[in-house]
Amino acid sequence: MTVGVEKGGFWYDVKNMKIKAVLFDLGGVYFEDGTDKFLKILSGKTGKSYQDLYSVFREGKSLEYRKNEISGKDFFDWASKQVNAGLLGNELNEMWVSQYTEMPGIRKLIEGLKEKGIRVAVLSDNVPERISYLENKYHFLSLFDDVVLSYQVNLTKTSAEIFRFALSRLKIKPEEAVLLMTGMSI
């Protein structure tokens, strides 16, 4: 049986590929999708639609925050006014980050890849407050050979440049990497 992945309508045999690294997104890949959980809870508290809240927390100013163009305090103070939930910015942040939990079996997967000599890295649109919270709770960053976070490189996954940057740091070609991402079309 051939194991493969579809790419652009073509079927590739991954059994014979020379994969040197796997890049993991955090939300929805390493961790359960905490943003989705958060938006559903917030929608219930505020009566605002999921889509309206999505636009506050995943688009516009949120992208500025993820690229470190505005501070977490400024973002959450702004977001608090947008959602009008009677929550302070820091309370919104705490509610959001607390929704993330590790995917079952993810550490075992990473350990297995490393045992096979495959490097593992993080490539994620993320923010300092969430990374700090998750690292303090799960101690996960040391599992990875490299970590590329949007706020550190002032790029998001909407730009192909962040992918080139991560590959360059790993010193590998695109065809030598597998990206495990959610909700992306590149």
Q: What integer pLDDT is reported at residue 185 of this predicted model?
A: 45
Using the predicted structure, report yes or no on whether residue 17 has a pLDDT greater than 80.
no
Identify whether residues 86 and 172 lie together within a single domain. no
Identify whether residues 107 and 88 lie together within a single domain. no
Cβ proximity of 26 and 97 under 8 Å: no
Identify whether residues 22 and 39 lie together within a single domain. no
Q: What's the rounded Cα separation, in Å, for the pair 61 and 12? A: 38
Please identify, among 43, 73, 97, the residue that sits at the C-terminal boundary of a domain: 97
Identify whether residues 176 and 109 lie together within a single domain. yes
Between residues 158 and 21, which one has the greater pLDDT? 21
Identify whether residues 117 and 148 lie together within a single domain. yes
Identify whether residues 86 and 106 lie together within a single domain. no
Residue 81 falls inside a structural domain? yes
Identify whether residues 88 and 167 lie together within a single domain. no
Please identify, among 50, 73, 97, the residue that sits at the C-terminal boundary of a domain: 97
Identify whether residues 85 and 119 lie together within a single domain. no
Q: Under DSSP, is residue 173 helix (H, G, I), strand (E, B) or coil?
A: coil
Identify whether residues 168 and 109 lie together within a single domain. yes
CA atoms within 13 A of residue 171's CA, in its CB half-sphere: 1
User: Cα–Cα distances in Å, from 183 out to 8, 25, 27, 97, 179?
Assistant: 16, 10, 10, 19, 12
Q: What integer pLDDT is reported at residue 15 of this predicted model?
A: 58
Identify whether residues 117 and 168 lie together within a single domain. yes
> What confidence tens digit (pLDDT) does each residue in 22-71 have?
999 999 999 999 999 999 999 999 999 999 999 999 888 998 998 889 99
Residue 18 falls inside a structural domain? yes
The whole domain housing 165 covers 4-32+102-180
Residue 186 falls inside a structural domain? no
Q: How far is C-alpha 149 from the chain's CA centre?
A: 8
Identify whether residues 151 and 122 lie together within a single domain. yes
Identify whether residues 22 and 112 lie together within a single domain. yes
> What confidence tens digit (pLDDT) does each residue in 94-127 have?
999 999 999 999 999 999 999 999 999 999 988 8
Domain holding 8: CATH number?
A: 3.40.50.1000
